[in-house]
Amino acid sequence: MAVFTEVGFGEADALVQRLGLGPLRELRGIEGGIENTNYFATTESGEFVLTLFERLSAEQLPYYLCLMKHLAGAGLPVPAPVAGPPAVEKTKKGQMALPSADTDCDLLHLVAGKPAAVVQKLSGRSELAPGAAHCAELGAMLARMHVAGRDYPRIQPNLRGLPWWNETVPVVLPYIEEAQAGLLRAELAYQNHIAESSAYAALPRGPVHADMFRDNVMFATGDGADAAPRLTGVFDFYFAGTDTWLFDLAVCLNDWAIDLPTGRHDAERAEALLSAYETVRALNASERALLPAMLRAAALRFWISRLWDFHLPREASMLKPHDPTHFERVLRDRATHPHVMAQAFEPALAA
């Protein structure tokens, strides 16, 4: 959500009008995030988000955009990309359509020389201090998303999965202290061992969001002091991929069901999230056994990526890399208390 590529008002106006959204009234860069360039675009027909993809290629993007379209079509609160004429790019021989496996290339556009997408802005607001009710809403929605993704035909690996961890750890090791490096090496070895196990091979798989943090989910609250929160939207699918659903669940638990200052497990919120998830999709025996390991895997993934973004940043306006030590604390807590974590989850998993 940082701004790596500046987009002129006129170019953005031309795009939204080509998409049938009416004239552009306001274009505003979005602060936060570290992967793509994002703008709020207000037109006469509503509010939208314009995303320019800084790392993902035009060949990779149909997986994400079509997944959002698929989930929105299944009734999930996901912003469907706005379709329009296929994007083209100039070449020495004229113009060439941006590549796609099928006609869904109309979801992909070209802005400032970068592949881009336009999605409708979601209603509601993020809840940065969630309670058990918010976690229950999230757990049920995450399970519905996994079930809806069963018949999604595209397959694309999680680009921030284990192979990326193995490639990136040697790159970040020179920037950290020896105690941190020891933990990083040991946990990476453990996760490679887990990935080779028969229990891991038995984990159900499909499309995962893989980045469903508090700031990527929107809620609305009804009138009255006791009104229950209602989940109104999930966005930022650009870390999605084909992976285990348990990993996706672990990512959520590591953000929604922990104490942020310490990284410690919050039993009430974790139980609410897991119980709601299992009302929609029950975990199998392998998932129950490997949940503590996947909590460690999810913490490792974000510690590595934050170390990478912090020590090897890209130039961008409004760029604010996240503190990598947060997920170091989460990983240490998950690795130090695996049996406590498993016992804490037993009430929800046994329900």
- Is 82 contained in some domain? yes
Same domain (yes/no): 149, 273: yes
Same domain (yes/no): 189, 259: yes
d(CA 147, CA 169): 33
196-203 long-range contacts (CB < 8 A, ≥24 apart) are 199/286, 199/289, 199/290, 200/244, 200/286, 200/290, 202/284, 202/286, 203/244, 203/245, 203/246, 203/284, 203/286, 203/287, 203/290
Same domain (yes/no): 80, 165: no
Average the pLDDT over 200-210 and give the result. 97
Q: Strands, DSSP E only, in 34-183?
A: 37-43, 46-52, 88-91, 94-97, 109-111, 114-120
118-144 per-position pLDDT tens digit? 999 999 999 999 999 999 999 999 999
Quote the pLDDT of residue 94. Answer: 42
Per the structure, the count of domains in the chain is 2
Give the predicted TM-score (pTM) of the model.
Answer: 0.89
> How many Cβ atoms sit within 10 Å of the Cβ of residue 249?
26
Say if residue 221's pLDDT is above 60: yes
CATH number at residue 111: 3.30.200.20
- Is 201 contained in some domain? yes
Same domain (yes/no): 213, 241: yes
- Is 125 contained in some domain? no
Choose one of 120, 154, 173: the last residue of a domain. 120
Choose one of 120, 148, 172: the last residue of a domain. 120
Quote the pLDDT of residue 102. Answer: 47
CATH number at residue 328: 3.90.1200.10
Q: How far is CA 166 from the centre of its chain?
A: 20
Same domain (yes/no): 243, 308: yes
Range of the domain at 311: 132-349
227-254 per-position pLDDT tens digit? 899 999 999 999 999 999 999 999 999 9
Same domain (yes/no): 59, 203: no
Same domain (yes/no): 145, 218: yes
Residue 351 confidence class, pLDDT cut points 50, 70, 90: low
Say if residue 96's pLDDT is above 80: no
- Is 3 contained in some domain? no
Same domain (yes/no): 181, 102: no
Q: Strands, DSSP E only, in 192-303?
A: 205-208, 217-221, 229-234, 241-244, 258-259, 264-265
Structure tokens that stand for 6 in this block: 């500046």
Quote the pLDDT of residue 110. Answer: 94
Same domain (yes/no): 37, 184: no
Choose one of 66, 91, 120: the last residue of a domain. 120
- Is 294 contained in some domain? yes
Structure tokens that stand for 83 in this block: 């379709």
d(CA 242, CA 63): 10
296-334 per-position pLDDT tens digit? 999 999 999 999 999 998 665 445 678 899 999 999 999
Q: 244 and 203 in contact (C-beta within 8 Å)?
A: yes
19-25 long-range contacts (CB < 8 A, ≥24 apart) are 19/82, 19/83, 19/84, 19/109, 19/118, 20/84, 21/45, 21/46, 21/48, 21/82, 21/118
146-188 per-position pLDDT tens digit? 999 999 999 999 999 999 999 999 999 999 999 999 999 999 9
Q: 291 and 246 in contact (C-beta within 8 Å)?
A: yes
- Is 49 contained in some domain? yes
Same domain (yes/no): 194, 254: yes
Tell me which of 24-28, 79-83, 306-310, 314-318 is least confident: 314-318
- Is 4 contained in some domain? no
Mean pLDDT of the chain: 90
Quote the pLDDT of residue 48. Answer: 97
Same domain (yes/no): 110, 188: no
Say if residue 95's pLDDT is above 50: no
- Is 1 contained in some domain? no
Same domain (yes/no): 105, 139: no
